[in-house]
Structure 1
Amino acid sequence: MRFQPYRSPSTGREVRAVLFDTFGTVVDWRTGVARHAAAFAAAHGHELDAEAFADDWRALYQPAMEAIRSGQRGFATLDALHRENLDQVLRRHGFDPGQLGGEALDGLNKCWHRLPPWPDSVKGLAAVRRSYIVGPLSNGNTSLLLDMAKNAGIPWDVIIGSDMTRTYKPLPQAYLRTAGFLDLNPGEVMLAAAHNNDLHAGRKAGLATAFIARPTEYGTGQVADLAPESDWDLSASSIPDLADRLGA
Structure 2
Amino acid sequence: MKRPKAFGFDVFGTVVDWRTSIARESAGFLAAIGRGDLDAERFADVWRQRYQPAMANVRDGRREFVILDVLHREMLVDLLRHHGVDADALDPVLVTDWAHAWHRLDPWPDSAAGLARLRALAPVVTLSNGNVSLMIELSRRAGLEWDAILGAEHARGFKPAREVYLATAAASGVEAGEFCLVAAHHSDLAAAREAGLMTAYIDRPMEYGGAPAPDRDQRQDWDYEADSLTALAAQLEART
Give the TM-score, by structure 1 length. Answer: 0.91
Distance 1:239 1:211, change over 3 A: same
Q: CA deviation at 1:99?
A: 1.7
Aligned length: 237
Q: 1:237 aligns with which of 223, 227, 230?
A: 227
> In the aligned structure 1, how far is the partner of 2:71 from the partner of 2:218?
30
Q: 2:207 aligns with which of 210, 213, 217?
A: 217
In structure 1, the partner of 2:172 is 182
Q: 1:132 aligns with which of 122, 126, 131?
A: 122
Unaligned runs of 5+ in 2: none
Q: 2:30 aligns with which of 41, 55, 65?
A: 41
Structure 1, 232-241 or 156-165: larger mean CA deviation? 156-165
In structure 1, the partner of 2:91 is 101
> In the aligned structure 2, how far is the partner of 1:154 from the partner of 1:27?
10
Q: CA deviation at 1:218?
A: 0.8
Distance 1:223 1:77, change over 3 A: closer
Q: CA deviation at 1:183?
A: 1.7
Distance 1:62 1:226, change over 3 A: closer
> In the aligned structure 1, how far is the partner of 2:182 from the partner of 2:76?
29
- Which structure 2 residues correspond to residues 3-82 of structure 1 after superposition, within 5 A? 7-8=1-2, 14-47=3-36, 48-82=38-72
In structure 2, the partner of 1:205 is 195
> In the aligned structure 1, how far is the partner of 2:28 from the partner of 2:141?
18
Instruction: Check whether the contact 1:57–1:85 (CA below 8 A) recurs between aligned residues.
Output: yes
Secondary structure of the structure 2 residue equivalent to 1:109: helix
> In the aligned structure 1, how far is the partner of 2:55 from the partner of 2:217?
26
Instruction: Check whether the contact 1:194–1:225 (CA below 8 A) recurs between aligned residues.
Output: no
Q: CA deviation at 1:161?
A: 3.8
Secondary structure of the structure 2 residue equivalent to 1:135: strand
Instruction: Check whether the contact 1:53–1:93 (CA below 8 A) recurs between aligned residues.
Output: no
Secondary structure of the structure 1 residue equivalent to 2:106: coil
Structure 1, 25-34 or 228-237: larger mean CA deviation? 228-237
Q: 1:116 aligns with which of 106, 110, 117?
A: 106
**Sequence identity (%):** 49
> In the aligned structure 2, how far is the partner of 1:95 from the partner of 1:120?
38
Secondary structure of the structure 2 residue equivalent to 1:136: strand
Q: Which amino acid aligns with 2:198?
A: A
1:18-65 per-residue CA deviation (whole Å, 9 max, x = no partner) reads: 111111000111111111111111222321210111111111100011
Q: CA deviation at 1:227?
A: 9.7
> In the aligned structure 2, how far is the partner of 1:112 from the partner of 1:171?
22
Q: Which has the higher strand share?
A: 2
> In the aligned structure 1, how far is the partner of 2:187 from the partner of 2:218?
10
Q: CA deviation at 1:217?
A: 0.6
Secondary structure of the structure 2 residue equivalent to 1:46: coil
> In the aligned structure 2, how far is the partner of 1:72 from the partner of 1:20?
27
Q: CA deviation at 1:94?
A: 3.9
Distance 1:221 1:231, change over 3 A: closer
Structure 1, 225-234 or 166-175: larger mean CA deviation? 225-234
Q: CA deviation at 1:222?
A: 2.6
Runs of 4+ in 1 over 3 A off after TM superposition: 223-228
Q: CA deviation at 1:224?
A: 4.1
Q: CA deviation at 1:92?
A: 2.4
In structure 1, the partner of 2:136 is 146
Give the TM-score, by structure 2 length. Answer: 0.94
> In the aligned structure 2, how far is the partner of 1:235 from the partner of 1:174?
23
